[in-house]
Structure 1
Amino acid sequence: MNLLTIGINHQIAPVDVREKVALAPDTMQDALADLKNYLNHTSDSSSEVAILSTCNRMEVYCAANDQHISENQIQAKTLDWLASQKKLSVKDLMPYVQTTVASEAVRHVFRVGCGLDSMVLGETQILGQMKQAAAEAQKAGSISTYLNQLFNKTFSVAKEVRATTEISTHAISLASAAVKLSSRVLGPIENQRVLFIGAGEMINLCATHFSAKLPKSITISNRTPQRAQALVQTLNNQGHQGVFLPLAEVPKRLHEFDIIVSCTSSTLPIIGLGMVTTALNLRKRQPMVLVDLAVPRDFEPEINRLQDIYLYTVDDLGEIVKEGMQFRSKAVKSAEEIIDTQVNHFMHWLHQRSNVPFINSLIEKSEALQQIEIEKAKKRLIRGEDPLKVMTELARGLANKFMHGSLHSLHQSDEQSMEEYQKMLTQIFMANQRKH
């Protein structure tokens, strides 16, 4: 069994690389089917694949039960597929690719699920994203026994880590970092007008953090009005006055806002250089803070060149998170110990699964030998021979057949391996005696 992960994440790749390989949610089903077909095209095996694509990582999880294809070949084929999908060069991607195999692959997936590999150490959002990735793969029919077991084990390990350690205590989120950066630039949030573009989980988190600071106004804009209006209603129920702004009206009203936080699934920027330049002129050069939490990015990178504009990406917020995080080393150590134990358990299960074909083969041969002796016994009974004598000969015949292969191999073994072979046979037959 080849088990591996192939990914590009925030630890080794900047946002301008990550956005190039990110997969939009509405393309995931097609991507999973296409990758599975591509990996299986030149192989007799049936590879299992799942894809996790977030603002901080794009990772492929693969299990391939084929001795004729190596981990290196699977990695090469996966990167070829990804480069082809995104019209990129494999050579350009390679410096940012992280691959783990076997037990290290299991450990990596567990660490991701527990938030130990996240920009915000111990954050819980990643677990929901992994569950969504598993659900997408299930729907696409791209995973089966091995990756199902890996995901299920990951979820239980994450639950154990959060229940028994303080890994999530004191976690500083990207949302709170956005508030901190904005107040550094513009002063108290209570004097600012905030626009949120998007209505997903990250925008909901940001709206919660910003609304707690009682900004002058909160406006929500989104491609789907119903989702934006639902968030507005939530804010209103909490005592904050939120209003909805149709996405089409954002360009002509951009100048009204001091802070703009955006996180959509758009594959192209939705806020351009010209739009911000116009807004800045209408504001008479009054500064604006733009927080881009999307990957691919929602704001054109060229906007950062404008004076009086403070544009921050997820990587910039990550630096703020690092500044303020004080995690107990004991909690991290405890989490790693739990993961190490569970990796060993998973690898034991994996090795047991790898023995199934061999065991089934032994059972088939055993049943064939039994059938031969049973047929002999039937014929003798039909001829009227003594049943006790027939049963004795049946037992002796089975014993001889089962012993023949072992004794033949023992006689054929060299002096160096004979002692080890004797020990193995002794263990087998002693186990049988204890059982009966």
Structure 2
Amino acid sequence: MSLMALGLNHASAPLDLRGRFAIPADRLGGRLQALRAHLAAVDSPASGLAILSTCNRTELYLGLAPQAEPQPALLEPVVAWLAEEGASSPEAVRAHSYQLQGEGVARHAFRVAAGLDSMVLGEPQILGQLKQAVREAEGVGVLGPTLQQLFQRSFSVAKAVRSGTEIGAHAVSMAAAALRIAQQLYGDIGQRRVLFIGAGEMIELVATHFAAQAPQQIAVANRSAERGAELAARLGAQLLPLRGLDLRLGEFDIVVSCTASSLPLIGLGAVKRALAARRREPMLMIDLAVPRDIEADVAGLEDVYLYTVDDLARHVQQGGARRQAAVQQAEALVDAGVHRFSQWLEQRCSVPLILALRERSEQWRQLELERARRALARGEDVEQVLEQLSGSLSAKMMHGALAGLHASRGADHRDWAAAARRCFLGEGSAPH
């Protein structure tokens, strides 16, 4: 199967290392073009590319040219490119990544789409992120037909898992987990002031959960004032500028941040000043960004409760036991999807053979038809001409199979016999 993939996720790499390789959504198209140029420079047989980058994973998918066989060496240029992207070493990428090929790529992609490979079993957000990754690859013209078919089928499998199993019936989201942690710490959220930094999908989900508890104050800060204003309007929140935000941190009991910044937005010094202004009243800080928005050292401060995306995932898993019963059923749907995709890919690989067979049969037809026309022009009997035409076509059609049967021995002969029975007698298999 002409597929390969390289990836790092929550199971293979720690948070800070994943952060090195995370690619913001607005840079995905450009990075895909850069990867295509890099692979073209080393004569890679990759004919299709896609990159999935979320807070939990960065995965690179390759569709290979039909004549190329998947092999580990073909991923080495991808390893080198990703290492350079993350200002890391190829050794670090290899140590914390997984390399997949053939059916393993299809199975992985289907499990990712279905939420079976997520930190939160069955979480639905990954499907939207995967669809966005496909749109980006299509937008810059690098997806290719094999990967397009792979991902379209992954969406179908995800839909079947979602509608046909209980995987998502008891879903506990990151947003719900964030609210639960806040309630465990503070009790009534209605007496608390909450700051959201960012205005993306994850912040919107978390903010919606918190807004339902009617906090005393909600504020939104975002790099794009327009998008921040839209979210603030929906929440009935105050819009704050990012510039100078560190001077106002002390006003808030709960800070939730998830941006695409490549560097931390909130440093240790700013949090220390905020705590001093609050007279050591505790703060809850939830950092859902990869790379981090809040410096890791903040976790060492006595009056700060800092949770990362990995911390929240552990809380979520505590409520996931009821979904485990549906995993076996979901995996069976994935297996069926992989089988159907493998069949499609094999049939697609047979297209050149099918075209060649049709061309050869048409050559035979034209040759015998021309002979028949010449015979009729000479005045030969019509019945005799038709007999000769049908006999010649039959002989040409049977020649290869009969020659193979006569010339073969042992297992080779049994294979020829089985093929002849299937092709000419319509039998499903050779008799035992």
Is 1:305 aligned to 2:300, yes or no? yes
Q: Is contact 1:167-1:331 (8 Å) kept?
A: yes
Asked if structure 2 preserves the Cα contact closer than 8 Å seen for 1:195 and 1:218, the reply is yes
Which one-letter code corresponds to 1:394 in the other structure? L
**Deviating more after overlay: 124-133 vs 383-392:** 383-392
Deviates more, 1:223-232 or 1:302-311: 302-311
What is the rounded CA distance, in whole Å, between the counterparts of 2:169 and 2:68 in structure 1?
Answer: 46
Contact 1:10 1:56 in 2 (8 A): yes
In 1, Cα distance between equivalents of 2:159 and 2:68: 37
Superposition deviation, residue 78 in structure 1: 1.6
Query: Secondary structure of 2:23's match?
Result: coil
Partner of 1:239: none
Distance 2:202 2:192 in 1: 20
Return the offset for 1:219: 0.4
Alignment of 1:224-235 (within 5 A): 224-235=224-235
- Deviation by residue 1:5-56 (Cα, 9 ceiling, x = unmatched): 3210112211111101111112211221222343344448452111110001
| Correspondence 1:418 to 2:422 | no
CA contact (8 A) 1:170 1:326 kept: no
The 5-angstrom pairing of residues 310-329 of structure 1 reads: 310-329=305-324
% of aligned pairs identical? 44
Q: CA deviation at 1:105?
A: 1.9
Q: Is the 8 A contact 1:2 1:71 kept in 2?
A: no
Aligned ranges 1:146-185 → 2 under 5 Å: 146-185=146-185
Structure-2 separation of matches of 1:373 and 1:300: 81
Instruction: Note the 1:3-402 alignment, pairs <5 A.
Output: 3-43=3-43, 45-236=45-236, 242-402=237-397
SS at match of 1:264: coil
Shift of 1:90: 1.1
Q: Is the 8 A contact 1:39 1:47 kept in 2?
A: no
Structure 1 residues 419 and 248: alpha-carbon distance in aligned structure 2, compared to 1, 3 A threshold: closer
Normalising by structure 1, we get a TM-score of 0.92
Deviations 1:355-376 (A, max 9, x none): 1111112222222222322332
Amino acid at match of 1:387: V
In structure 2, relative to structure 1, the CA distance for the partners of 1:84 and 1:69 (3 Å cut) is farther
TM-score (structure 2 length as normaliser): 0.93
Aligned residue for 1:219, secondary structure, equals strand
- The 1:44–1:414 alpha-carbon spacing in structure 2 relative to 1, beyond 3 Å, is farther
Q: Secondary structure at the match of 1:358?
A: helix
Counterpart of 2:399 in structure 1: which amino acid?
H
**Any stretches of 5+ residues in structure 2 without a counterpart?**
428-432
Q: What does the per-residue CA deviation read over 1:38-79, in whole Å, with 9 as the maximum and x for residues that have no partner?
A: 334444845211111000111112221344443312322221
The CA deviation string for residues 240-275 of structure 1, in whole angstroms up to 9 with x for no partner, is xx2111111312211111111001111121112222
- Paired with 1:25 and 1:89, the residues of 2 have a C-alpha distance of 24
In structure 2, C-alpha distance between the alignment counterparts of 1:348 and 1:66, rounded to whole Å: 15
RMSD: 2.0
Partner residue, 1:405: 400
Which amino acid is 2:117 matched to? D
Query: Any conservation in 2 of the 1:260–1:289 contact (CA below 8 Å)?
Result: yes
Given that 2:48 and 2:63 are in contact with CA atoms closer than 8 Å, whether structure 1 keeps it comes out as yes
The one-character-per-residue Cα deviations of 1:138-168 (angstroms, maximum 9, x if unpaired) are 1111113221111111111111211122211
Q: Is the 8 A contact 2:110 2:158 kept in 1?
A: yes
